[in-house]
Structure 1
Amino acid sequence: MLPDSSDVDRNGSAPRVQGLLAGLGARTCRTLPVDALWSHFGWARCWGELLPAPARLVALPVLRSAVALARPLAVRYDDTLQDHVHRISNVVLHLKSGGRIEPLVLGPDGNLWDGMHRLAALHLLRADTTDVIDFSQGTSGGFIRVAAASVFDPNFLRDPNLCRIADRFAVAAPFRHVYFPHVLQPSLAFAIRLELESLPWRLAKTDFYQQYEMSLLDCQPGVGASLTALRDFAMSDDFARILARITAHHSLRTVDVACHRSTTGQTIGIHTDDSEDGESCRLTLHFNAAWPVEDGGLFVVFGNKDPTSAIAAFAPEMNTAVLFEISERSFHAVTHVEGIRSRYSIVIAMIVSLP
């Protein structure tokens, strides 16, 4: 397999990586968890500012279509969406046919110098570990999986509780959804709430909503430690398995971790989130202490697009969550924020990965 570094030239060569491998620099050969590597590197844009982060790219329908062709696709080594899709698809095909891949390469600065396309393919195929050549002399970190118990409230993780939530989710109408409290470790939830205040928010407007947003994918480094821990765990296999126990959607993969802030007068109109992107479910986490119903910002479930068809409404109280399945019937909205405080939430969007 040719190197797949981000600075490969039009001839398919990567002089920087090849020089590193041929040199006398100290290196360590390691076997590391794929999901820990993916959590560490997959969220950041590595192919220029105009292209999405790998975690977003692997969720695009165009990549699914490319993989479905089940044949090698032309690669020009251009820094284009199509070329990166083809390179990932070709590695997936190579691995599916029993082929071997070269180890990933961590440079002296601890960053992934070579292997992002291979890592994306391994992630899509749910590989457990991969070989890595590490030139960082320990600066790259341990790449240890974030433990579920360090993120979720221990009572939430208990089998009887997960079974109860799954049962409620399964029978909910008109689409499968469930609201539940005490999701995260309390200390983590409050730390996230503080970090949300200082994010560089961007105002987003569409024909049915207005709010401030920031995705933890495609963002610049420097997000707070608690938000980073949540993002890393949300991109892990353990998180996907926990959500799969509730939803019965297996092979889930996180494709966005989006922070939302709504201020006085802002609202999200009735919509379904159903789209060609193929999202299967969303988990919305709330971070608003002592939030009275009178302050608005309620998450409302509707029977259809008629505003009079409201079935249930949930207050965005601190450390509560709404999990719902996306379909053409998943009509929901967020009512106007009436109070003077901002309403904070984080939405984790998931798709079903490659079969």
Structure 2
Amino acid sequence: MILPDLAQAESSTTPFPHFISPDVISSDVAGAALRWLRDDAQWELRVEDFYEQHELDLTFATGDGIAALAAPEFVAAIRDAAAALLPTEGELELVGVTAHRLTAGQTIRIHNDHIGKDETHRVLIQLNEGWKPENGGFLMLFSDDRPEAVAEVVAPAPASAFGFRISATSHHAVSTVRGGERFTVVYTFRQTA
């Protein structure tokens, strides 16, 4: 059984509650998942007013390489870490597991993911083997919805995790991907009672 390791996670409340953790999965697990996403995934392009990206529902993923990251035990460990590292007033329940792929030229502009009580927490695992700063695709955190309000920049380092509490003030964006592809597995939860 494969479980994430968030022992090195560091939490912050600025500019909104979030955590960052390096090396949450081994390079072997990350590499196998990345190979599956590159070679076998059936991506769907999604275009919205503030982003364009390729998406894939992994909630019931069974493919070799990716199934470990969607396994119930793995998801439960991610859920428990989110509940421990981020402000919660109840239990967290899984909404879904998805994968996102950004290719050269794609950007996600400033947004906050806030849709009310249906989604309250999100955890991202980056699978970007060989990522370099010149590739772009940085996660940017903002203190409000203006570009000049950037408060923190997070590199999409391979096998790293980023988690945050979704709210009206959880403004974030992804800078333009300049080269290669940016792969992320996304776990979305909602807080119950």
TM over 0.5: yes
Alignment-derived partner of residue 28 in structure 2: 187
**Alignment match of 2:18 (pick from 177, 184, 191):** 177
Change (3 A) 1:294 1:351: same
CA distance in 2, matches of 1:275, 1:331: 13
Contiguous gaps of at least 5 residues in structure 1: 1-146
SS state at 1:151 partner: coil
TM-fit CA distance, 1:318: 0.8
Range that drifts further, 229-238 or 187-196: 229-238
**Residue 216 of structure 1: aligned partner:** 58
> Aligned in 2, Cα 1:239/1:332: closer, same or farther, shift over 3 Å?
closer
Work out whether residues 4 and 74 of structure 2, in 8 Å CA contact, stay in contact via their aligned partners in 1: no
> Is 1:315 aligned with 2:166?
no
Distance 1:200 1:234, change over 3 A: farther
Q: Does 1:346 align with 2:188?
A: no
Aligned to 2:44: 202
Q: Deviations over 1:315-354 (max 9, x none)?
A: 1121011111111100000011111x1111111111113x
Partner residue in 1 for 2:80: 241
CA contact (8 A) 1:235 1:254 kept: no
TM-score, scaled to structure 2: 0.90
Q: Deviations over 1:281-337 (max 9, x none)?
A: 111111112211111110000111111111111111210111111111000000111
Query: Larger relative CO (CA 8 A, sep 6+): 1 or 2?
Result: 2
Aligned to 1:22: none
The 3-state SS of whatever aligns with 2:93 is strand
Matched-pair contact (CA < 8 Å) for 2:24–2:159? yes
Letter in 2 for 1:226: G
Q: CA 1:183 to 1:236, structure 2 compared with 1: closer, same or farther past 3 Å?
A: closer
1:202 counterpart letter in structure 2: E
Q: How many residues align?
A: 191
- In the TM superposition, what are the counterparts of 1:285-304 in structure 2 within 5 Å? 285-304=125-144
1:273–1:282: structure 2 CA closer, same or farther, 3 Å change rule?
same
Q: 1:335 aligns with which of 175, 178, 186?
A: 175
Residue deviations 1:160-199, cap 9 Å, x none? Answer: x4xxx3xx42x42121112221011332111111111120
Structure having the larger proportion of residues in strand: 2
Computed over aligned residues only, the root mean square deviation of the Cα atoms, in angstroms, reads 1.9
Higher helix share: 1
| Other structure's SS at 1:214 match | strand
* Unmatched segments (≥5 aa) in structure 2: none
Cα gap change, 1:252 to 1:294, in 2 (>3 Å): same
Which of 227, 231, 237 lines up with 2:70 in the alignment? 231
Deviations 1:144-170 (A, max 9, x none): xxx4xx2224xx34xxx4xxx3xx42x
Q: Which amino acid aligns with 1:190?
A: G
Does the alignment pair 1:262 with 2:110?
no
| Cα distance change on mapping 1:238 and 1:181 into 2, 3 Å | closer
For 1:175, what is the secondary structure of its paired residue?
A: coil
In structure 2, relative to structure 1, the CA distance for the partners of 1:236 and 1:267 (3 Å cut) is closer
CA contact (8 A) 1:234 1:254 kept: no
- Equivalent residue runs for 1:133-144 within 5 Å: none
Structure 1 residues 239 and 334 mapped into 2: Cα distance closer, same or farther (>3 Å)? closer
Q: CA deviation at 1:234?
A: 6.3
- Spell out, residue by residue over 1:114-146, the C-alpha distance to the aligned partner (whole angstroms, 9 max, x if none): xxxxxxxxxxxxxxxxxxxxxxxxxxxxxxxxx
Measure, in 1, the Cα distance between the counterparts of 2:74 and 2:149: 35
